[in-house]
Amino acid sequence: MAREFACVLAMLLIVSVVPAVARVDDGQRTLSGIIYFTNNTPDDLENFPVELYARDQKKRIAATKPNGKHRFALTDVKPGKYLLKLTWPNHCVLWYRVDLTKESLSNVRIIMDVDCAHANGSIQDLPEN
């Protein structure tokens, strides 16, 4: 009887511990920020694509568009190193290296018109904020 009780108790402990461990940290990351313009913010900024790609630029991982306050968020991203692609339709495309291996990145600030003037189509480091 004591052995059966010990087995049942052990099974209950395993069942109750495993789900708690799985919920502690699902490992997902968030990349969020804001897009600025130094001059004449376009009226259609809410239609600017914001995309996250694998480093080889072949696979799109996540996509969104800025809200009415120019903010964007890419959520539930697996930890890793990526490329952030921001598109100003009919003007330029910006590419930034992003490292989400250790933590989420928030409050990323992109000054779109200034960065477009200096980008030359190259991949840049994400601006420090």
The model's pLDDT over 84-109, given as tens digits with 9 standing for 90+, comes to 999 999 999 999 999 999 999 988 99
- Name residues whose C-beta falls within 8 Å of residue 60's C-beta, 6 or more positions apart in sequence: 51, 52, 53
Q: What is the CATH number of domain 27-125?
A: 2.60.40.10
Listed by start position, the domains of the chain span 27-125
pLDDT tens digit string along 18-66? 333 333 346 899 999 999 999 889 999 999 999 999 999 999 999 999 9
Entry pTM: 0.77
The whole-number pLDDT of residue 80 equals 95
DSSP letter assigned to residue 84: E
Q: How confident is the model at residue 7 (pLDDT cuts 50, 70, 90)?
A: very low
